[in-house]
């Protein structure tokens, strides 16, 4: 989201926040843990992209964590047109791409999106025994979100290191 910001388009975040984020140093490369559980894609129940295990969040039924996240983001930013669109979508990748199409508030970028994502994860764990069991099966392993996303995932996995925040 942030790395694709440029002069040609209207900012997806405020110019003030964009300037602050540009000055932030690149994350330190972290070594991959010796014991890790890798999560990614539409076939891993711990992934936000896994679908076909419906759950309820904020009084609405969702088919994936990604759908719940994007719908909540659209509602938060009063984009009910996109909320209705994302509720009709079935592909989590399409949902994520739709989510990149709106201007988001600084409050969302710096704080609220993390709480929403956390709430969705815990809701899925509480409502879906299969997801809870998969989480328990990771035992004491560190969970690595195996995606190139620099915030939600491990970012680039190279030479037994990663540079993403892995949130």
Q: Provide the residue count of the chain.
A: 167
Q: What is the pLDDT of residue 135?
A: 93
Taking only the tens place, the pLDDT of each residue in 24-77 is 555 677 888 888 898 988 999 999 999 989 999 999 999 999 999 999 999 999
Lowest mean pLDDT among 55-64, 82-91, 138-147, 151-160: 151-160
72: how many CB neighbours lie within 10 A of its CB?
Answer: 22
Taking only the tens place, the pLDDT of each residue in 98-107 is 999 999 999 9
Q: Helix (H, G, I), strand (E, B), or coil: what is residue 51?
A: strand
Q: Is the pLDDT of residue 7 over 50?
A: no
């Amino acid at each position: 989201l942030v790395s694709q910001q440029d002069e040609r388009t209207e900012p997806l975040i405020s110019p003030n926040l964009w300037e602050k984020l540009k000055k932030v140093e690149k994350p330190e490369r972290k070594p991959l843990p010796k014991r890790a559980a890798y999560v990614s894609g539409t076939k891993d129940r711990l992934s936000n992209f896994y679908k076909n295990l419906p759950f309820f969040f904020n009084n609405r039924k969702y088919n994936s964590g990604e759908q719940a996240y994007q719908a909540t983001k659209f509602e938060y930013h009063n984009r009910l047109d996109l909320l209705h669109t994302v509720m009709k979508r079935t592909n989590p990748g399409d949902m994520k791409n739709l989510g990149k199409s709106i201007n988001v508030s600084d409050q969302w970028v710096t704080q609220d999106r993390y709480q929403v994502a956390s709430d969705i994860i815990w809701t899925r764990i509480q409502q879906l025994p299969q997801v809870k069991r998969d989480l328990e099966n990771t035992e004491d392993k560190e969970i690595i979100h195996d995606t190139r996303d620099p915030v939600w995932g491990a970012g680039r996995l190279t030479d037994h290191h990663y540079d993403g925040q892995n949130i």
